[in-house]
Amino acid sequence: MIVYGPVPSRRLGQSIGINNIPPKSCSYSCIYCQLGRTNRMQVNRHEFYKPEEIFHEAKLKIKQLNNKNEYADYFSFVPDGEPTLDINLGTEIDMLKCFDIKIAVITNASLIWMDDVKEDLMKADWISVSIDAVDEDTWRKIDRPHRSLKHQDILNGIVEFSKVYKGTLVTETMLVDGINDHEACIKGIAEQLAVILPKKAYLLVPTRPPAENNVKRPSKDSLINAAEMVHSISGVDVECITGDEKEEGFFFSEDIVNDILSITSVHPIREEIVNEMLKKRNLDNTVIDNLIKQDIIIEYLHEGKKFYRRNINDI
């Protein structure tokens, strides 16, 4: 399935995923990648699917949503590989615009120095680019790039793009314990962000299972220090994402308990959303009541509305 969802996403609301790259074609083989090691390492753009095929699936998805009175905030290109390897990305974005839904692309930015990639990305409303390191050694260690890529070209490409892009640009930095969470590395990233000035800098931590077993999350202190340093040097808003999300969203499995726990680990969830999730599976409130009784979930009121959050002592 190329078009899936919608899935609730912390950053993008209800997001319809577009998987325009089959697993796993990428220009990187990040040590933290949840898709495992890259088996199709590549940097040349080409066609993976016909744009018409993607458009057709998207049309069906929108029809299904309309029938159920549901909606989506975004189409997000968040595939099982690097989305800009798709030579039809710009055409696909153009075609999807007729649905009047915003379009997001989450890219590792490794090809952003290419003019045609920049042009394609310019068409989207929201772009996330990865910056895991600004020094070449750390970049090679963490992202394990295709041998033909040049780190400076990528960093310059991101800066150039940030100067002309009219949509919302954010950055993602995956912090890995002992690799890029030390002060010098964070300082370098922060200085780079001060030039790019994204709307927000997201700091992420690896979720299991990463491509390499020895990849570990940084400690909470290290993450807090990194967030403070990035903010104070760059002036950019920083947000940490530490839950078990997959890239850009929570994936609804058939296991409602896991779904609720994975969402509440990252942020509180409103009562209505939980009710909706239960309703979709023809379940009543017993599921959430049991989680509260077991002290796994905490129920609380905020501005008159009921929320649930994960009891962090339980994690």
Q: Chain centroid to CA 83: how far?
A: 12
Residue 105 contacts ligand SF4 per CB under 6 A:
no
Give the residue with the Cβ less far from ligand SF4, 108 or 264: 108
Query: Judged by CB under 6 A, which of 2, 3, 11, 28 binds ligand SF4?
Result: 28
Check: CB of residue 20 under 8 Å from CB of residue 77. Answer: yes
Residue from 9, 15, 76, 108 in contact with ligand SF4 (CB under 6 A): 108
For position 207 contacting ligand SF4 by CB under 6 A, the verdict is no
Among 7, 18, 26, 85, binds ligand SF4 (CB under 6 A): 26
Is 249 a binding residue for ligand SF4 by CB under 6 A? The answer is: no
> In angstroms, rounded to a whole number, what is the distance separating the alpha carbons of residues 191 and 189?
5
Amino acid (one-letter) located at 77: F
Q: At what angle do helices 286-293 and 271-280 cross, to 10 degrees?
A: 130
Q: Do residues 260 and 278 touch, judged by C-beta distance below 8 A?
A: no
| List 7, 16, 33, 89, residue binding ligand SF4 (CB under 6 A) | 33
Would you count residue 84 as binding ligand SF4 (CB under 6 A)?
A: no
3-state SS, residue 54: helix
């990463």: which residue's tokens? Answer: 210
Whose Cβ is closer to ligand SF4: residue 2's or residue 26's? 26
| Alpha-carbon distances, residue 206 vs 90, 122, 143, 187, 249 (angstroms) | 30, 29, 13, 20, 14
Q: Please tell me whether residue 176 binds ligand SF4 under the rule CB under 6 A.
A: no
Rounded-to-integer distance, Cα 76 and Cα 247, Å: 11
Q: What spatial distance separates the first Cα and last Cα of the chain, rounded to whole Å?
A: 33
Q: Closer to ligand SF4 at the Cβ: 1 or 312?
A: 1
Residue 138 beta carbon to ligand SF4: minimum distance, rounded to whole angstroms: 14
210 near ligand SF4, rule: CB under 6 A: no
- ω before 209 within 30° of 0 (cis)? yes
User: Looking at beta carbons only, is 56 or 246 nearer to ligand SF4?
Assistant: 246
Nearest one of 193, 152, 185, 153 to 169, comparing CA atoms: 193
- Whichever of 35 and 111 has its CB closer to ligand SF4, that residue is 35
Q: Is there a contact between 107 and 127 (Cβ–Cβ < 8 Å)? A: yes
Nearest CB to ligand SF4, comparing residues 19 and 108: 108
The yes or no reply on residue 48 touching ligand SF4 (CB under 6 A) is no
Tell me how crowded residue 237 is: count the other CB atoms within 10 A of its CB: 13
Site size for ligand SF4 (CB under 6 A): 10
| Least distance between ligand SF4 and beta carbon 23 (Å) | 9
- Residue 30 sits in the site that holds ligand SF4 (CB under 6 A): yes
Work out whether 82 is an interface residue with ligand SF4 (CB under 6 A). Answer: yes
Site residues (CB under 6 A) for ligand SF4? 26, 28-30, 33, 35, 38, 81-82, 108
